[in-house]
Amino acid sequence: MSNRATHPPSHPVARQVAHIREELADLSEAALWSMTPEETARTLAETTRLSAQAAGLELRLAAHADTCEVGAAQGATSTAAYWAHETHLTQRDAASKMKLAKALQTQDHEPVEHALTRGELLADQAKAIVEAVDALPDDVGTEIKTQARDHLLGEAAHFDAIRLRVLGKQVLDVVAPEVGEAEEARQLEAEERKARAKARFTMHDDGHGTTYGRFSMPTHEADKLRKPLNALASPKAGGEGSTPHGMGLAFIEYVNRYPVDKLPKAAGMDATVVVTMTLETLMGGLKAAQLDTGTRISPSLARRMACEAGVIPVVLGGRSQVLDVGRKRRFHTKAQRIAMAVRDGGCIALGCERPSAWCHAHHLDPWSQGGETSVERGAMLCARHHTLIHHPSYGVTHHEGGKVSFHKRE
């Protein structure tokens, strides 16, 4: 950070800031081991308030700097741009701070500035209050805006900035109920229109077997996706928790489980995936298969997909003759799953203790070989063992009582 001071500061604010910085520099080397937990807690809170007071002073100085056109002599495009360059703030942060600094200098927000400079309010709380009051329609009048500001200042003693933003959107319901409902409805409708207009979905194949995606959608629609993904990611459902990886696996599971009979038809066909494979691949060979989208997949994945719902396997002979176009598969019914769950008591792999709620319904006789969806020829397998049973590197041994074990092929 640049420091161009070549002589002692003369203004009392400048002198005090320099003095405080020196005091804090001395404190940086003070040992903390002797502080009691109670004293540490109090000092931590006081330091947060000190930071708020410093932020209040910073914003006052920023507003004054803009009035003085600081940076104009150096040809800066704005005081905010000069501020960012000198202190290594990002342009975005400097502009945001400057906007708040100017707002706090207006008469409407003077009490907010005073609360901030006294350390009674944090900077992000001040910003939330200012933005909430400024967002109120002009026709509500100055008195209602003042009541809204004072109400939010009182709430700041109990809530953080995120909650204050929520309360700010509903503040008219408190200070002016007669106009609050209509204004909230107007704001929500405007937000929903904007959210729908900004809806986007993109997918990019990196050429190495992974596809990346980005999307934006209205929050109320996103909630319909978030809830089932959280349910699938839950460890109780066999998921890996709400980590980015766990949610990614849950999204894969969600796509695989989506009922294809609910999808629209395209060109007279259901929107199902067609996987093309050779007979050799179907019977355990190592030749890759291909989806009708052009994506090539491993033979083990192709065999696994062949016993899932919503997939049409097309089996080719040695000269690419079509030997069979399988019927569109379906999952076991809820009643069948319950029956198998009671019978198997969980995953049928020896040594696996995963409960039935974490398991897939597996066809012991693959559909590609004429198998049917039934309780008698079905079994419960957890996701891990369902993958292994279709993997060419593993063999399967069937034991009495319906259990199976796996071994690595030589």
Q: What is the pLDDT of residues 371-403, one digit of tens each?
A: 777 778 889 898 889 888 888 888 899 998 889
Q: What is the mean pLDDT of residues 199-204?
A: 87
188's tokens: 């929500």
**Is 96 a residue whose pLDDT tops 90?**
yes
Q: What is the DSSP annotation of 164-233?
A: HHHHHHTHHHHH-HHHHHHHHHHHHHHHHHHHHHT-EEEEEE-SSS-EEEEEE--HHHHHHHHHHHHHHH
What percentage of the chain carries pLDDT values higher than 90? Answer: 29
How high does pLDDT run on average in the chain?
A: 80
Query: How many Cα atoms sit within 13 Å of 229 on the Cβ side?
Result: 17
User: Domains along the chain?
Assistant: 12-27+39-191 (no CATH), 200-257 (no CATH), 263-325 (no CATH), 334-408 (1.10.30)
Which of the four pLDDT bands, split at 50, 70 and 90, describes residue 247? confident
Q: Which of 269, 264, 222 is nearest to 247 (CA)?
A: 222
pLDDT higher than threshold 80 for residue 182 = no
CB 323 within 8 A of CB 317: yes
H or E, element range at 397: strand 394-398
In whole angstroms, what is the distance from residue 170 CA to residue 40 CA? 37
Q: Phi and psi of 205, rounded to 5°?
A: -90, 120
pLDDT at 305 over 90: no
Above 50 in pLDDT, residue 220? Answer: yes
Question: Alpha-carbon distance 175 to 179, whole Å?
Answer: 9
pLDDT, position 153: 95
Strand partners, 270: 265
Q: Evaluate if residue 314 carries a pLDDT over 60.
A: no
* pLDDT band, very low/low/confident/very high, at 409 (cuts 50, 70, 90): confident
pLDDT single digits (tens) 265-300: 543 344 455 666 666 655 666 666 666 556 666 766
